[in-house]
């Protein structure tokens, strides 16, 4: 089950607020958005990357499971994001097996 807040978080991360093709995959989260990202991560629908010198916020990326949960009819990943999301799926699986 995915909440409306989580759905909006994932759609924003994927750039699906502007069209039917997910052209990016990243949400620079701060404040309460971190809780939403962590909730998606616990469900296997996102992975996180810690803050760094270059990016001071936690970054969440959506997995295939997350995309499938939020996509609407006719929406898809662009070819580059399709390749990237496969690597994120592997990261999510590695984190789940710990």
Task: Give the pair of three-digit tokens for residue 11.
Answer: 């759609």
CB atoms under 10 Å from CB of 17, counted, come to 9
pLDDT average, residue stretch 55-69: 95
The boundaries of the domain holding residue 83 are 4-96
Task: Give the pair of three-digit tokens for residue 89.
Answer: 């799926």
pLDDT average, residue stretch 51-58: 88
Asked if the model's pLDDT at residue 98 lies above 60, the reply is no
Q: Average pLDDT over the chain, rounded to whole?
A: 92
Q: pTM for this one?
A: 0.90
Query: Percentage of the chain with pLDDT > 90?
Result: 70
- Number of domains forming the structure of the chain: 1
- Look up the CATH number of the domain holding residue 22: 1.10.10
Closest CA to 35 of 25, 24, 46: 46
């Amino acid at each position: 089950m995915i909440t409306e807040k989580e759905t909006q978080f994932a759609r924003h991360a994927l750039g699906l607020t502007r069209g039917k093709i997910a052209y990016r995959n990243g949400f620079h989260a701060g404040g309460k958005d971190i809780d939403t990202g962590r909730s998606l991560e616990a469900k296997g629908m996102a992975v996180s990357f810690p803050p760094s010198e270059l990016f001071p916020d936690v970054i969440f990326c959506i997995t295939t499971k997350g995309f499938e949960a939020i996509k609407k009819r006719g929406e898809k990943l662009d070819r580059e994001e399709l390749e990237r999301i496969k690597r994120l799926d592997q990261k999510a699986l590695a984190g789940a097996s710990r």
